[in-house]
Structures are given as structure tokens and as C-alpha cells.
Amino acid sequence: MTKDIKCSVSNGGISLVRRAPKRPCVSVVLAAHNAGEHLTRAIESVLNQDYEDLELIVANCASSDRTASVCERFVDRDIRVEAVSVDNNSMSCGRAAACSVARGRYLLFVGQDDWLGAGFLDAMVAAAREHDAQMVIPEFSVDTEQADGSRVFATLSHESCFWDGAEAFHQGAAPFVENGVLAFAAGKLFTRECIEAMAELPDMCHNEVSFMTGCVRDLARVAVVEGARYHLLQPSTPAHAAFDPGMFARCQEDYRRLRDLYEYWGLLDDAAAMSAVHRRYLRELIRCIENVCASSNRLSASERRDRVQDMLDAAPTREAIEAVKESSHEFGIMYAPIARRSVMACFMGARIQDIVGRALLPFVSCAEARL
């Protein structure tokens, strides 16, 4: 019988209280900053899984709310829970801290506001073992909070499949690039070796797209599991969200990262494959325009005009507009203003979409989608 051992480890601002049960099969990594409102639900969804061979490592990223007390409560209640403290509010660095002490054969990332559906881990681990998969992608249920307190639901599902070989994965990845599923780590199950390789890269503490492009660039065995549902809660749509001055810069950076990934894969000159990158960029660009045009922000008219003009003139925008012109109808009333570089028409389009309540999710723009 393994004796429980408590010790403290400190390394570069990271502190850990370690207990030592047997090495688990799955390490669930959850980084949290001021997550008191939803953290209990996220943690309980992990601990209540039928699959029990796991550890849950919660990284508290310099929270000022009751996040720390929630973590402490679960550490006291369940020996499978470990608490890590990080001295800054970077969620990416919290994730890296948790990964550095994870012991499982597989690592699963969970967002602080998200939760796992019943039977999630059983299905994900079974797929990983059956196919010796390096990454397993689940089905996603996207829950978007609106300004009036209501919620819009969307489901992202794909028939269960397995890509055996790098080329097969690269060709099959396009829908997951376009709808944003490969732009965030939450919900995916990775082998330990995949994450250890990422730990050597500076992007371990960078944004989600940087982390994910680093993770998937050399993968050759990837599985998708239909029915393993990961519930993802996201804030209000850009037209209702607070103004985010760095949103477009991140959009451009994400585009560059994805473009670099496709270059690494040898697909930069493959128009059909690159279409996924261009289409995702345009959807994110529309979100950026909506955010600038939102009535809730305090930008002056000239500031809004200048920001939108910069977006329309950006090289990735012109490249993407040209690349998707054959399917321009999919971008609704916003494609033509962007193509014509018409700032005023963009303002009108964004306002119309706000009025009719069309929520452009980062993954889909309809109530339910099937890839």
C-alpha cells in the first residue's frame, strides 16, 4: 500500500504541495484565475467521472477571489487533487506549471469555466489506447452567454475517425482549423511525450494557438471521438463584449502561427488546404470589427474608423479575401464591405448583425454544426 507523502517544491515562482498515490493514467490539467464562480463545477465534472485512474492538477494563477479556497477544499476532500500556485495571472504559465508536475501517461486540459460530460474520460482513454493515438479530439458543446443573460448553444461533432500517418492528419485537419477546434487545448487528450516535447519550446507559456500549433506539428496518429462531450462556456459575443484593444493583434498573430504550421507541413501552396486558415482568419476578423463597432465601448468615431481601416488594409485580410471569394456568401453581409475596404459599410454590417442577434461564435455561426 502506498503511503501518502507531503512535500513542498518551489521552482521559479511555482509552489506545489505533493501527495504521492500511484502514478495515474491521466493527468487532468486545469489553470484558473479568479474562477470561483464556475471552478467547483469544472472540478466536480472531473472527479465524478466513472473513470477514476486520474489526478487533477489545479494551477491557481494569482487569483484574488475564492479560487484558492475552492482548490483547498477539493485537495482536502480527494487525494487525486493537487494544488499548484503560480505567482502571476498567466493562464498559459499556470498550464505549464501544472504540466511540469503531471505524472500521467496522458494529459487532458480543462478550462476553468468548462465541464466534462458523463463518460467523457472512458471514451477518450479507450480511443487513445485502441489507436495508440497521440491526440484525441472530443465532441464539443459550446455555451455562449449573451448580454441579456440568455445563452446560445452550439454543438461541434464529427464522426469518430482515426488518422494514421502525418499526411492523413494534415489533410483531415482542415475543418478543425477552420472552426477553431485546433486553436485551443481544452478538451483534448495528449500523450505525455507530446507535451514533454512542447515543454522544450518557448511557446509553452504563450497563447493558445502558439501552444496548439507546437503540439500538433509533428503528430501522426490522431483520433476523433463522437459522443465524448466536452462542454465549453464562453463569454458574450464581440458586439456585446467589452472593447479588447489587443484582439486584432492576436488575430494576426494566430494567422501567422497557423500559416507557419501549414508551411511546416508543406501545404502553403495547397490552396484547398490553406482555405481553412483563410476562412478562420476572416471569421475572427469579423469578430474584431464587431468588437470595435460595439456601442458598449468608449472609442471615439475617429478611433473606431482608424482601427477598422487598419484591419481592412492588413496584408492577411487582403490575402484571405482573395482566397475565399468563391465562397464569399458564407461570410454573410460582412464579406463585401471587407472586400471593398469600406469602413462605413463594415459599421453598418456589424450593427445589423448586432440587432438581429446573430452570434458569430469562434467555431460556428449556426445553432448546430456537423463537420
Instruction: Report the alpha-carbon angle 161-165-171, nearest 5.
Output: 70
User: What's the number of domains the chain is made of?
Assistant: 2
Same domain membership, residue 120 and residue 27: yes
Residue 155, pLDDT score: 83
Could you report the per-residue pLDDT of 195-252, keeping only the tens digit for each? 888 765 555 556 789 889 999 999 999 999 999 999 998 766 565 667 889 999 999 9
* 334 secondary structure, DSSP code: G
173 & 278 share domain: no
Please tell me the predicted confidence (pLDDT) of residue 93: 85
Residues 215 and 258 in one domain: no
Coil, helix or strand at residue 363: coil
pLDDT at 22: 80
| Residue 91, pLDDT score | 86
Mean local confidence (pLDDT), 103-116: 96
Look at 43-47, 52-56, 91-95, 205-209 and tell me which has the smallest mean pLDDT: 205-209
Question: What pLDDT is recorded for position 353?
Answer: 77
Separation CA 84–CA 59 (nearest Å)? 5
C-alpha cell at 94: 499556470
Ranking 148-162, 242-256, 281-295, 346-360 by mean pLDDT, the lowest is: 346-360
**Structure-block grid coordinates of residue 369:** 454544426
**Residues near 155 by Cβ (< 8 Å), separated by ≥ 6?**
139, 140, 141, 142, 368, 369
Of 205, 234, 263, which residue is a domain's last?
Answer: 234
pLDDT of residue 205: 57
- Residue 34 and residue 7 in contact, taking contact as beta carbons nearer than 8 Å: no
Q: What pLDDT was estimated at residue 182?
A: 93
Same domain, 192 and 253: no
- Per-residue pLDDT tens for 298-337? 889 999 999 999 999 999 999 999 999 999 999 999 999 9
Name the band, by pLDDT with cuts 50, 70 and 90, for residue 366: very low
Q: Is residue 275 part of a domain?
A: yes
Task: Answer yes or no: do 144 and 269 share one domain.
Answer: no
Q: Does residue 186 lie within any of the structural domains?
A: yes
Strand segments (E) across the chain: 7-11, 14-18, 26-32, 54-61, 81-86, 106-109, 115-116, 135-145, 151-157, 161-164, 189-191, 221-234, 369-370
Residue recorded with cell 465601448? 297
Q: Is residue 1 part of a domain?
A: no
3 has a pLDDT exceeding 50: no
Whether 31 and 177 map to the same domain: the answer is yes
Within this chain, do residues 48 and 192 fall inside the same structural domain, yes or no?
Answer: yes
Is residue 219 included in any domain, yes or no?
yes
Contact (Cβ atoms closer than 8 angstroms) between residue 29 and residue 98: yes
Domain boundary among 195, 213, 234: 234
pLDDT (tens digit per residue) in 329-364: 999 999 999 999 999 999 999 888 777 654 444 433
The model's pLDDT over 58-108, given as tens digits with 9 standing for 90+, comes to 999 999 999 999 999 999 999 999 998 888 888 888 888 899 899 999 999
Q: Are residues 92 and 225 in the same domain?
A: yes
pLDDT at 8 over 60: no
The C-alpha torsion from 327 through 332 and 337 to 338, rounded to 10°, is -60
Mean pLDDT of 145-172: 84
Residue 198's pLDDT is: 75
Q: Are residues 184 and 42 in the same domain?
A: yes
**What is the predicted pLDDT for the residue at 9?**
35
Concatenated DSSP letters for 97-125? HHHHH---SEEEE--TT-EEPTTHHHHHH
For residues 50 and 150, membership in a common domain is answered with yes
Q: Assess if residue 2 is contained within a domain.
A: no
CATH of residue 203: 3.90.550.10
The pLDDT of residue 364 is 36
Residue 216 sits in which domain range? 7-234
Same domain, 148 and 263: no
| Rounded mean pLDDT, 260-279 | 96
- Compute the mean pLDDT over every residue in the chain, rounded to the nearest whole number: 86
User: What is residue 339's predicted lDDT score, i.e. its pLDDT?
Assistant: 97
Say if 356 falls within a structural domain: yes
Closest Cα partner for 301 from 311, 292, 310, 289?
292
Report if residue 116 sits inside a domain. yes
Q: For residue 117, is it within any domain?
A: yes
Residues forming a β-bridge with 164: 221
Residue 361 burial by CB count (10 A; 0-12/13-18/19+): exposed, middle or buried? buried
